[in-house]
Structure 1
Amino acid sequence: MARETVDGRVDGEPVSDRYRHLIEHVQDAVVEFGLVDGEPVVVGVNRAFVDVFGYEADEIRGESLNEWVVPDWKLAEAEDLDANTASGEVNYRQVTRETATGLREFLYRGVPYAVSEGGEGGEGDLDGGFAVYTDLTEVSRNERRLEVLNRVLRHNLRNNANIVAGHTTRLLAELDDQGSETTDVAATIERAAHELERLAEEAGHIRRVLEHPTDEATDIDPEPIVRSVVDDHRGRAPSAALEVEVSDVGSVMADSRLRYAIDSLVDNAIEHNPRSEPRVRLRIGGAENPPDAASGEWVAIHVEDDGPRIPAAERDVILDGSEITPTHHGSGLGLWLTELTVETFGGELSFGASDLGGNDVSIRLRRS
């Protein structure tokens, strides 16, 4: 039987103008797929898909849709959606998908169709469907960026300013007596002042990240950045033991602002570790299996430590698993700086456990 495809043909001949006109002028990316053993195989795509995902129609036609657009670590989620499609369900879900320039966020709608001997739309077996992707990347990022700057910056600057003001009053009252608490009070003021300085620095980095989004692909070798960050922290924290392990991974899709993300993770690993000699290990390797293979399309930069685990509430709010509220937004700008920088490059931030006994915070970036 004749079969219509979203690239505008029926068995090699043009479909009716009304359907071709509709599909080709829909601004959302649309893929028609056939189900082969439960897996979606691309039949055709519209122009918006080519523009958004960066894959040409002839390049992806006849290929597994999941192999092209689903990151390895999201495959189980995609297979669940495919199973729903195969059972006749319409899917709606916000998803992360892989494009030619990195990860982007989409509203995914999967619409199955059936083919029977009498034609499409009958009581026949499920044969395929349409995948519609609405790009939510910039909307989601802008919303969360505004929340971060509004909640975190105001909250932390206000709290630390209050600490400085309150302890300065106590210090001035006790200076005449040279009481026993004078030294402790002065030390508290010093720590709060340094924290204010760090917040101001991180806020400046965030501004530079947000003001100059990466619209075109750029590439950079992460190894010199990692080694430079390590050298800086060896000078600033000589008691810390910093190690570097690098595979031959080449360049990644990022620019010099990647330093902000790596520096922030190393700073957190040292500052929040109560050990007298905190240990931090930076590793660069492939992001596919095995985890350190210098192959595949993705590169992972790991910052590991032997300190206390990052609280679940801190991780959840960074990874969108928890709502940002006036009292629940994370304790500082460091992790937010890393997350905003990484997502600018179409990458992903993740949290795990290290064999050092502490955290393994990793940055995934697409290989150039």
Structure 2
Amino acid sequence: MGEEIELVAYKRAFRETPNPAIIAGRDYVIRDVNDALLEFTGYDRDEIIGQTPDALISDPELFFGEIAPALYAGEPWIGSTELKARDDRFRYGYATATPLYDGDEVIAYGGVFVDITKRRRAEQTTRILNRVLRHNLRNDANVILGHLDLLRNAIEPGSKGAESIDIAESRLTRLLARADTARALEDLLSAEEEIDIKPVRVDEILLREVDAMRERFPNAKFSVGELPEAYATANTALTKAFEAVLENAVEHNDAETPIVDVSLNVDEKSVTVTVADNGPGILEEDLDLVLGLEEGDQVRHGQGIDLFFVSELMNEYSGRISLEPNQPRGTVFTFYLRRQSPP
């Protein structure tokens, strides 16, 4: 009696779930589908029963190359795919396929699809608009920079007008850099596939960025300790992360001579990079806000998007970044990366 009740409950749950779902036998032939799938795709039940799941997705090779092998090995499969409707339109979403057991024996396979077509379309539209806006911003900013150069030649050096031109040029250059960071952050957050991560030479990347900052900010003092050879889990985007933190240490520094101390340490499991400055510091209650870990108006902090990008990138690397007050003043940024053996 208990088994009959359990079976009835299972069938009801399968039939009434709002997401499209199928049941396939061990031969991968579809044995049953729920009403949500019929409504979603426009097929009749007898058109699907007896088919294999590859008939319902846009890329049949995905089923034979990934899904079926995972199920055969007794493992669930989770991923993105497109479900094919009767009108030849495709619905994008996430799918799960799972072995169904009776005791220790696999007796069937279940599959569920979650539609995110509208969300994906909105994300794609947003990305297109962002690209157009960044393109227009860069073009207009370059035109303005060109006119500022012409004005500089017509104004007496050292005058207030020349100083204003320098400030405007600096702000525009910074705005373009922020646009580049926004693009990198968008690419990172919208990536549908895992980003390419491999062992990289951290000490060499760090030294190159410090040298670049010395050229950009000749009035700042960069102190670099010994940099031992260090490989860690990352990719080329680590360059931009170091650039963002080093730049932040100078641009938001109110000291007469900005001082930035850089160090690198290696232990058995991690590579730690520390960047300490003598700037105004960040209030302890604002540390999570600056890194995007809490909601708020990050623009008022100045660091905003750059440090949020760094924080998200460290998450992709399975690492992290921390911010702490420096003594007697300033901020200490610390990167924690997973150590790797040389390739």
TM-score when normalising by structure 2: 0.49
Q: Which structure features the higher share of helix residues?
A: 2
Q: Radius of gyration: which is bigger?
A: 2
Greater relative contact order (CA < 8 Å, ≥ 6 in sequence): 1
